[in-house]
Amino acid sequence: MELMELMDHGFISRFEGKIGKLDTMLPSISSSTRSMRMRDLILFIGGALAITLVRMIGNAWSSFGEPIIPFEDFPEPSWRTPSTLDATVVASTPFARFEIHRVLTESGVIVEDWLWTDERSHVNILVHLKDENKYMMMRQKKYGLEKEYLAVVGGLFNIGETAEECARRELLEETGLVAGELVDLGRYRVQVNRGGGILHAYLARNCVPEGRKKHALSDDYEKQVIVKYTKEELLQRVLRGEVGEAQWVAATALGLLHDLTEH
């Protein structure tokens, strides 16, 4: 039996015994003793009700399934500064780590429940095609988006990989292209107060197919449709909100800004 069943079984047996004893003794015992017996009975009834309630809650909880809190290794270092007084990991996967930090702010206030999220370092790449002089985007849906939007090429760092190595690998794996010029557009914290990982933005200019290798298929969970735009067409789509995620917008805007000022 489980602990709750044992408690329940033992309790009910004792409870039934108390009732039987009380029934046979009530006519012959004094009023003070009878009061004590009645108090015992009330306590046992209260306990029975409490156990029933706990079992009902437990059954309801089980119907939703037990919560799964992952504690797998996250491959990147924890974020700590002189302001970090303490930190507790509450969940961790190979893709993200969630912590509660105790933080001393500049004003001297200590925040006891500062939520912090580490996500894998990643790249986003605006792809420019040499032969067509157009920009290649992906039209796709994501779990956090309500409909399809335009997206750039992107992906997570492999362990030991530099940002440039990651960008070149993701470009080849997702598109089968190599860049004539890979422009570093900067390194950016995604959420300054909550973490979110580090974005490395790139512009891959004058891309052409890599003929010597068969590139791997994208490992995205969602289908992707390739679309191509001129500089002016893509700029208008960015301004109309057709690029669906803030980091995609940043990489696209930075790439377009670079080309508008340099070419």
- 167-204 pLDDT, tens per residue? 999 999 999 999 999 999 999 999 999 999 999 999 99
**Distance linking the first and last C-alpha atoms of the chain:** 76
The answer to whether the CB of 167 falls within 8 A of the CB of 182 is yes
pLDDT band, residue 48 (cuts 50/70/90)? low
pLDDT of residue 107: 97
* Distance between CA atoms of residues 192 and 48, nearest Å: 52
Residue carrying structure tokens 């996250």: 74
The answer to whether the CB of 129 falls within 8 A of the CB of 228 is yes
pLDDT band, residue 3 (cuts 50/70/90)? very low
Query: For residue range 241-262, what is the model confidence (pLDDT) as tens digits?
Result: 999 999 999 999 999 999 998 8
pLDDT of residue 69: 86
pLDDT of residue 57: 55
pLDDT of residue 15: 46
Query: For residue range 52-71, what is the model confidence (pLDDT) as tens digits?
Result: 655 565 555 555 666 688 89
Distances 209 to 9, 128, 130, 137, 215 between C-alpha atoms, Å: 73, 12, 10, 16, 10
Q: Where are the domains of the chain?
A: 3-63, 69-119, 122-262
* Distance between CA atoms of residues 144 and 147, nearest Å: 9
Average pLDDT over residues 37-50: 63
* Distance between CA atoms of residues 238 and 2, nearest Å: 59
Residue 6, pLDDT above cutoff 90: no
pLDDT of residue 2: 43
Domain 122-262: which CATH class? Answer: alpha beta
State the DSSP code for 12: H
Question: Considering the chain, what percentage of its residues have pLDDT values greater than 90?
Answer: 67
pLDDT of residue 223: 81
Residue carrying structure tokens 């057709």: 242
Residue 13, pLDDT above cutoff 60: no
pLDDT band, residue 17 (cuts 50/70/90)? low
pLDDT of residue 4: 45
Amino acid, res. 70: P
pLDDT band, residue 7 (cuts 50/70/90)? very low
